[in-house]
Amino acid sequence: MPQAVPPFTRAIIILNVLAFLLQQVAGYDIENLFALYSLSDSRFEPWQLLTYAFLHDGDLWRLQISHISINMLVVLLCGPQLEALLGSRRYALYYLVCIVSAASTELWVENATNTAEVMIGASGGVFGLLLAFGWYLPKEPVGMVRIPIPGWVFATAFGVVELYLALFGTPSDQAHLAHLGGMLGGALAILYWRMRGRFAS
């Protein structure tokens, strides 16, 4: 990992990669302990509100790594600037709030719809980072492909797409409302800090 990547952003990427490698060896044994299960499932444990976000779908040996690759790419694109702005401690707290908010949203949706799904992936935290990037760095370009995209466009586009898919998309294994829940948790954290007179820009 390059030295320019600040400590918590680096830690997120390293922990996710290590967990993914461990999944390739231990598989369901790891997921049974650390994936997020519904409240009605006997396998649910409180720590899963955090640990699910360090696991990802995929098979390394078949090069099925898009889930973790996309999430970690967004962390690498948005994380360093946000961590420099907020400081490592507050940035870490923000990321964890987004993860828990996404998990809580998913559990609420499952309870309201009487469904039970297993959730893994860092997307809730990633969508929270997108929101913060668009909020604090609206004109800062996010380098994607060859065209720099302003932060507010990048964040808004992802949020609108997720909302559309949640409301009108066909059923899939993507927890679109949980992604939005990560953004909601991020927005509430930012608004709280603004009320406390911190990071008001």
Which tens digit of pLDDT belongs to each residue from 64-123? 899 999 999 999 989 999 999 999 999 999 999 999 999 999 999 888 888 888 999 999
Q: What is the pLDDT of residues 15-42, one digit of tens each?
A: 999 999 999 998 778 889 999 999 999 9
Q: 68, 180, 48: which is closest to 124 by C-alpha?
A: 180
φ/ψ (deg, to 5) at 34:
-120, -10
Question: Whole-model pTM above 0.95?
Answer: no
Residue 148 DSSP code? E
φ/ψ (deg, to 5) at 150:
-55, 145
pLDDT given for residue 146 in this prediction: 44
Taking the C-alpha atoms of residue 145 and residue 45, their distance in angstroms, rounded to an integer, is: 40
Which domains, and CATH codes, for the chain?
7-195 (1.20.1540.10)
